[in-house]
């Protein structure tokens, strides 16, 4: 297939592009490079610089390059930023996704894989989280992803567009050429690795949660496994439209992540305890049975490998992407 990846210059999107190529698909990227990196785009993948809210430019690009399917990754993803600027998230994530959907339908594109998030669940009562759990996001970022899912479901009901909404838990790790390079960085593993490298203390938010060691528990899924899930979903559409959790089914606490970083680097992570952050649930762990059953997907990589891969990329690219 000829696949357009919006946000394909970003962390997860660029790994998806690379894996698509390895599966024999032809790839091109649509990205405004506001938070992605030109250097992350795999060689052989054409890059069109543009905003997803610009339907005319996106439509012209699809007409010029041709497109059998879209993987829609482009979005703003910072929870704190979404709380401070909810209108921005409504504009980029919600209105932008609606523009992508309209443009796909106008161009006759019939398959769309959507980057959603476990944030659509809010603070669920039970673990592991199943797709049928109540959808009750607690911040504008989660609300924007749920709005995107609903827009896709409405388009599918009208006919002509099959979709898979993939609800990520905590993406982590790297491949040999692509890793995390965000500014500011908010993800635990790269922050812990930076703390080791630079000797700065990492803040651990909350040590009194109802978890085995008192710190938050999250489901860390390797970025390569995430990429493979997108390809599995894409290749099985339209028969398997719907929402899917992407996680390992196992949770690791903040302190367990720091222990994994110490094991990989040989250095203890300097850290200090800080008060809880508002809106942080004690635990978020995915049930991925639906993805296994319908997509044939199962995560293959564990936390220690993700940490090792992220560390290898960071050591090979100490300044991140230089573009």
- For 281-290, write each residue's pLDDT tens digit: 899 999 999 9
Which 8-state DSSP code applies to residue 220? E
- How much is the pLDDT for 53? 98
Give me the torsion for CA of 249, 148, 134, 156, rounded to 10°. -100
Give pLDDT, residue 281.
Answer: 87
CB within 8 Å of 18: residues ≥ 6 apart? 42, 175, 177, 178, 227
Q: pLDDT of 111-168, one tens digit each?
A: 999 999 999 999 898 899 999 999 999 999 999 999 999 999 999 998 889 999 999 9
181-215 as b/e: b if 16+ CB within 10 A: beeeeebbbbbbbebbeeeeebebbbbebebeebb
DSSP letter assigned to residue 228: H
State residue 279's pLDDT score. Answer: 76
Name every residue whose Cβ is closer than 8 Å to that of residue 281 and which is 6 or more positions away in sequence.
122, 123, 124, 216
Helix (H, G, I), strand (E, B) or coil at 173: coil
- Predicted local distance difference test score (pLDDT) of residue 159: 85
Fold for 2-172+220-247, please state it. Rossmann fold (3.40.50)
What residues does each domain of the chain span? 2-172+220-247
For residue 184, what are the CA distances in angstroms to 147, 180, 191? 26, 11, 10
Q: What pLDDT was estimated at residue 174?
A: 98
Rounded CA separation 195/201 (Å): 6
From first to last of its 323 residues, the chain has per-residue pLDDT tens of 999 999 999 999 999 999 999 999 999 999 999 999 999 999 999 999 999 999 999 999 999 988 999 999 999 999 999 999 999 999 999 999 999 999 999 999 999 999 999 999 998 988 999 999 999 999 999 999 999 999 999 999 988 899 999 999 999 999 999 999 998 899 999 999 999 999 999 999 999 999 999 999 999 999 999 999 999 999 999 999 999 999 999 999 999 999 999 999 999 999 999 999 887 889 999 999 999 999 999 999 999 999 999 999 999 999 999 86
Q: Of the candidates 275, 149, 173, which has an alpha carbon nearest to the alpha carbon of residue 225?
A: 173
The catalytic site residues sit at: 141
Structure tokens at 307: 């940490």
**For residues 275 and 315, what is the distance between their CA atoms, to the nearest angstrom?**
31
Predicted confidence at residue 278, as pLDDT, reads 80
């Amino acid at each position: 297939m000829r696949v357009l990846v919006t946000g394909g210059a970003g962390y997860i999107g660029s790994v998806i592009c690379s894996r698509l190529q390895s599966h024999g698909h032809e790839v091109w990227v649509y990205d405004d490079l506001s938070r992605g990196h030109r250097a992350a785009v795999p060689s052989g993948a054409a890059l069109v610089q543009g905003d997803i809210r610009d339907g005319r430019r996106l439509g012209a690009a699809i007409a010029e390059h041709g497109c059998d399917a879209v993987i829609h990754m482009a979005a703003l993803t910072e929870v704190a930023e979404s709380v401070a600027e909810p209108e921005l998230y409504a504009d980029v994530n919600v209105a932008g996704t609606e523009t992508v959907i309209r443009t796909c339908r106008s161009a006759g594109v019939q398959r769309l894989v959507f980057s959603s998030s476990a944030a659509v669940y809010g603070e669920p009562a039970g673990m592991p989280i199943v797709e049928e759990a109540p959808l009750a996001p607690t911040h504008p970022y989660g609300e924007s992803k749920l709005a995107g899912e609903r827009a896709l479901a409405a388009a599918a009901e009208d006919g002509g567009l099959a979709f898979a909404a993939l609800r990520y838990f905590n993406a982590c790790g790297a491949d040999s050429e692509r890793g995390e390079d965000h500014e500011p960085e908010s993800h635990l593993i790269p922050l812990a690795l930076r703390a080791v490298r630079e000797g700065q203390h990492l803040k651990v938010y909350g040590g009194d949660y109802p978890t085995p060691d008192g710190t938050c528990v999250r489901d860390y899924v390797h970025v390569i496994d995430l990429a493979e899930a997108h390809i599995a979903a894409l290749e099985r559409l339209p028969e398997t439209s719907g929402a899917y959790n992407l996680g390992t089914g196992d949770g690791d606490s903040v302190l367990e992540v720091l222990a994994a970083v110490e094991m990989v680097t040989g250095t203890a992570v300097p850290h200090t305890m800080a008060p809880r952050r508002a809106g942080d649930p004690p635990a978020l762990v995915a049930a991925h049975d639906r993805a296994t059953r319908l997509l044939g997907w199962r995560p293959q990589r564990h936390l220690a490998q993700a940490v090792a891969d992220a560390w290898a990329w960071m050591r090979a690219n100490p300044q991140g992407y230089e573009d």
